[in-house]
Structure 1
């Protein structure tokens, strides 16, 4: 019998979801954009407009020598799949080598969660990507934005901005997301999931 060698799942394309207009900057729904901005800054990979991919794009070498590409689709959220499909086709990537970062109301602020596959969970950007790839078997990293407090409609909540206290938590979570992704380059996404899915920043602990 041949030994069972499990191939590590390591990202080659990282996609952050958001909406492109300035009025959406730093809103909860744009946390995917913020995460890619953080990666681009830490890895010193400036994002530039790429018409082929309909987004802001960067390509370079991440820590550990991993060749990586970053993209922020400028198509608006519900057409994000157009941008992702263009990059996937150009680089001939498998869905398993894509990591999509986006906001999740079902997770509290201060939590992140990685999965290797799954449904869109009602997220329009993810619906678009699944439709354009014809598959939901690609990794994703969800960042918690918390639920509405009941006084606001859901749309007002996701398009609203974080409170100053929440922003401190988000800054720490974005730094943690970078660490989780860098860890996946060395040991694969599954081990990164085991290590970081239980991580939490408690909003009460933030000064």
Structure 2
């Protein structure tokens, strides 16, 4: 079985440790733990993770967040992955910091990466793992917060949260979305 897991983020050192790169950071942690190598491919960095008989293609778009849909569409077509075997890992200000929520569909809720994917796929029917980054910002400062760097306190908690996210990804690819949602969305 073939799966596609897309971690959303922005390329470049200035974005590396920002909240908006929660998807990138999670896939980087998985790659580090499993000694996987990233290869520069069309519109994205790509790595193949083999787990329990599954081919899990990890993708970090190099298109910048607002054009993530181009990379998602290309890799879905190129790898011939069904939409139900695709998972997007994305930051979410509506969830408290550290909270994870797996959903099978839903609106972009104003997230430009998800908007781009919605447009590219022609709908909201695709799985996403939302990585809570919290909403600790004053009115009108959401962009600064999302593109801001993690606090020291958050950085100390990130490894455990990313490890949980990796468990969700592995479960999604082995037991399916329904059982994974029942197990992890508490």
TM-score normalised by L of structure 2:
0.94
1:16 corresponding residue in structure 2: 7
2:181 corresponding residue in structure 1: 193
Instruction: Tell me, yes or no, if structure 1 residue 77 matches structure 2 residue 68.
Output: no
Instruction: Tell me, yes or no, if structure 1 residue 170 matches structure 2 residue 161.
Output: no
Cα drift, residue 140 of structure 1: 0.3
- 1:65 aligns with one of 49, 53, 78: 53
Report the 3-state secondary structure (helix = DSSP H, G, I; strand = E; otherwise coil) of the residue aligned with 1:23.
coil
2:78 corresponding residue in structure 1: 90
The 1-side partners of 2:97 and 2:2 are apart by 25
The 1-side partners of 2:121 and 2:86 are apart by 11
Q: Is the Cα–Cα contact under 8 Å of residues 57 and 72 in structure 1 kept in the other structure?
A: yes
What do you get for the CA RMSD once the two structures are aligned? 1.6
Gaps of at least 5 residues in structure 1 are 1-9, 199-207
Report the 3-state secondary structure (helix = DSSP H, G, I; strand = E; otherwise coil) of the residue aligned with 1:25.
coil
The 2-side partners of 1:154 and 1:147 are apart by 8
The 1-side partners of 2:86 and 2:118 are apart by 12
Instruction: Tell me, yes or no, if structure 1 residue 102 matches structure 2 residue 90.
Output: yes
Greater Cα radius of gyration, structure 1 or 2: 1
TM-score normalised by L of structure 1:
0.85
